């Protein structure tokens, strides 16, 4: 009760539901008959293909180059043949141009290696190498890592946060990555320290992942005392945080670990820090030290409707249907969402591909969906639960009333709607079952027009 460990105020405690997959080691996933790789990793920022239909590519070979600051380098996830470059379905529901690769049956897991990036390389060289590896935020946002570092290039970063909070229920990928690839994570952190110019890194891990924290501490202890060649020498610390959602959200994590408040509409760099997910750090460590590109990502496949839940290293572009058929989807499956249950997006079609930002695939049964569907909606009783849950200290009850009256402008100008990062705590606790965060999304969308 009197936990002195750093954390943030408000937030909620959803059931973790991590037992199902937390002890399942990461398995390499087989290649699907066709891989679909949308050219845009983030929004509409499409990369420029450097391959043509009919061309044979090797696993790890460059297939698309960044075309603008927010587009991302792409590598072939499998040795095979480029079938076509054509529109493919995406999670957003619209078709986006993608590279279709048909892996050869003999395709192996070996990845074409390039030139490794030296740990003592210059800041710009490391950023360029990260860009070349196609690294993005693997915690779900899929924001290009090189763009984040480039934006902070001329600003002071004194500490970087490595996000291993993994506060979303069901997901255990970050935990497994820290447990099994702690060395990659540490190598990645050293590259990131170099690329950001920070002298200190803090790995933030929630208390329910004690084994991962131990493993990380051990991996850091093995390092020579002077890491990253910085001056003064950089330090890497492991910070254990109490379990609470949404601790893994960037602004919240910064407040929890560093006690710094990112200003409204601001970025972590405004308080002298940058956040990277542990999985991003691990991939950067692995890719840069071997000169390869990002071709797979680790994700949790779980939920009550999955027959063989676990953590898998899945080639990018694997269609959701192939993924779920391989792990076995029960007849009971009623809803599939990408990411965790608090912020994950439900999919309407299984034809969409796994992307760099997919942290998990969770399939649930009617028993779970009915729990929400059968809820009776009541008027707001002003209990204030949402006010006590909102980690951004907004007033969701008031926002909800305004949303019902469609007073979107007032929501934004008087009640800080744009500070809401849609963690869903308000909807989670509402005893009247008012879809608060859902209404806020509608309001934001209406305001954007």
Partner 1 sequence: MLKRTLQLRTSPHLHSGTSVEAIMFHVALATLPACAFAVYHFGLAALLVLSVSVITCVLTEHVVCHCRRQPTTVADGAAIVTGLLYGMTLPPSLPLWMVVLGAIVAVGVGKMLFGGLGANPFNPALVGRAFLQTAFPLAMTTWSSTASDRFTSVSRSTFTWPLMRPDYDPSSTDGISGATALGLWKSEGTLLPLPDLFWGTVPGCVGETSAALLLLGGLYLIARGMMSWRIPLAILTTVAVGSLLVDQFESERRFDPLTMWFSGGLMLGAMFMATDMVGSPLTGWGCVLYGVGIGALVLIIRGWGGMPEGVMYAILLGNAVSPLIDRYIHPRLFETRQRSAAR
> Hey, which residues between 404 and 443 contact partner 1 (CB under 8 A)?
416, 419, 422, 424, 427-433, 435, 437-438, 441
Separation of first and last alpha carbons in the chain: 46
- CB nearer partner 1, residue 226 or residue 383: 383
- CB nearer partner 1, residue 60 or residue 303: 303
Task: Enumerate residues 214-233 that contact partner 1 by CB under 8 A.
Answer: none
CB atoms within 10 A of CB 66: 21
Q: Taking Cα atoms as reference points, which of 297, 281, 312 lies closest to residue 75? A: 297
The answer to whether residue 6 forms part of the interface with partner 1 (CB under 8 A) is yes
Site string for partner 1, 353-382 (x = CB under 8 A): -----------x---xx-xx--xx-xxxxx
CB contact at 8 A, 317 and 35: yes
Task: Enumerate residues 168-197 that contact partner 1 by CB under 8 A.
Answer: 169
- CB nearer partner 1, residue 153 or residue 416: 416
Q: In what order do the strands lie in the sheet with 80-89?
A: 35-38, 95-103, 80-89, 56-57
Task: Enumerate residues 388-407 that contact partner 1 by CB under 8 A.
Answer: 388, 390-395, 397-398
CB of 261 to partner 1, least distance (A): 5
CA distance 196 to 149: 6
The answer to whether residue 33 forms part of the interface with partner 1 (CB under 8 A) is no
CB of 308 to partner 1, least distance (A): 13
* DSSP, residue by residue, 81-110: EEEEEEEEE-TTSSEEEEEEEEE-TT--S-
Cα separation values, 391 from 17, 256, 336, 413, 442, Å: 22, 11, 27, 19, 20
3-state secondary structure of 346: strand
- CB nearer partner 1, residue 21 or residue 368: 368
Place of tokens 């910070």: 239
- CB nearer partner 1, residue 261 or residue 413: 261
CB of 33 to partner 1, least distance (A): 16
Task: Enumerate residues 234-253 that contact partner 1 by CB under 8 A.
Answer: 251
Instruction: Say if strands 360-364 and 296-302 run parallel, antiparallel, or are unpaired.
Output: parallel
The stretch near partner 1 (CB under 8 A) out of 36-44, 141-149, 217-225, 384-392 is: 384-392
The stretch near partner 1 (CB under 8 A) out of 26-34, 100-108, 282-290, 326-334 is: 326-334
CA distance 401 to 388: 17
The stretch near partner 1 (CB under 8 A) out of 11-19, 20-28, 75-83, 203-211 is: 11-19
- CB nearer partner 1, residue 22 or residue 251: 251
Q: In what order do the strands lie in the sheet with 48-49?
A: 48-49, 62-65, 74-75
* DSSP, residue by residue, 400-441: HHHHHTT-HHHHHHHH-GGG-----HHHHH-TT---HHHHHH
Q: In the set 342, 352, 361, 403, which binds partner 1 (CB under 8 A)?
A: 342
Task: Enumerate residues 73-112 that contact partner 1 by CB under 8 A.
Answer: none
Total residues binding partner 1 (CB under 8 A): 78
Beta bridge partners of 176: none
CB of 30 to partner 1, least distance (A): 17
Task: Enumerate residues 252-291 that contact partner 1 by CB under 8 A.
Answer: 255, 258-264, 266
| Range 118-151 burial, b when 16+ CB lie within 10 A, else e | ebebeeeebbbbbbbbbbbbbbbbbbbbbbbbbe
The answer to whether residue 167 forms part of the interface with partner 1 (CB under 8 A) is no
- CB nearer partner 1, residue 189 or residue 324: 324
Beta bridge partners of 361: 301, 338
3-state secondary structure of 401: helix
- CB nearer partner 1, residue 163 or residue 432: 432
């Amino acid at each position: 009760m009197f936990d002195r460990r750093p954390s943030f105020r408000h937030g909620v405690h959803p059931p973790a539901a991590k037992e199902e997959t937390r002890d399942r080691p990461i398995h390499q996933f087989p290649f699907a008959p066709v891989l679909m790789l949308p050219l845009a990793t983030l929004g509409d920022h499409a990369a420029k293909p450097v391959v043509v239909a009919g061309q044979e590519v090797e696993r790890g070979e460059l297939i698309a180059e960044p075309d603008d600051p927010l587009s991302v380098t792409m590598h072939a996830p499998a040795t095979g043949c480029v079938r076509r470059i054509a529109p493919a379905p995406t999670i957003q529901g619209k078709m986006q141009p993608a590279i279709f690769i048909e892996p050869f049956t003999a395709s192996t897991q070996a990845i074409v290696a390039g030139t490794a990036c030296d740990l003592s390389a210059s800041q710009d060289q490391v950023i360029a190498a990260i860009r070349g590896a196609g690294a993005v935020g693997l915690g779900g946002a899929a924001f290009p890592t090189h763009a984040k570092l480039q934006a902070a290039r001329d600003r002071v970063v004194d500490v970087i946060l490595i996000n291993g909070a993994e506060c979303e229920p069901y997901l255990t990928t970050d935990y497994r990555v820290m447990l099994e690839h702690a060395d990659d994570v540490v190598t990645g952190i050293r590259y990131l320290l170099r690329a950001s110019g920070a002298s200190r890194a803090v790995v933030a891990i929630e208390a329910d992942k004690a084994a991962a924290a131990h493993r990380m501490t051990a991996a850091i202890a093995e390092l020579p005392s002077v890491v990253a060649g910085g001056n003064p020498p950089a330090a890497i610390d492991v910070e254990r945080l109490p379990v609470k959602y949404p601790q893994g959200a960037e602004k919240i994590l910064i407040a929890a670990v560093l006690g710094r408040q990112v200003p409204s509409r601001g970025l972590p760099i405004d308080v002298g820090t940058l956040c990277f997910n542990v999985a991003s750090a691990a991939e950067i460590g692995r890719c840069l030290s071997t000169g390869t590109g990002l071709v797979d990502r680790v994700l949790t496949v779980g939920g009550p409707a999955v027959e063989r839940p676990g953590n898998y290293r899945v080639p990018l572009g694997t269609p959701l249907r192939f993924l779920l058929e391989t792990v076995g989807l029960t007849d009971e499956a009623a809803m599939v969402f990408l990411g965790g249950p608090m912020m994950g997006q439900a999919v309407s079609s299984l034809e969409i591909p796994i992307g760099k930002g997919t942290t998990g695939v969770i399939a649930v049964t009617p028993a779970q969906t009915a729990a929400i569907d059968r809820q009776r909606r009541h008027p707001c009783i002003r209990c204030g639960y949402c006010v006590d849950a909102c980690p951004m200290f907004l007033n969701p009850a008031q926002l909800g009333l305004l949303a019902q009256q469609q007073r979107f402008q007032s929501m934004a100008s008087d009640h800080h709607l744009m500070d809401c990062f849609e963690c869903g705590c308000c909807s989670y606790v509402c005893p009247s079952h008012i879809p608060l965060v859902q209404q806020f999304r509608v309001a934001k969308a209406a305001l954007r027009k």
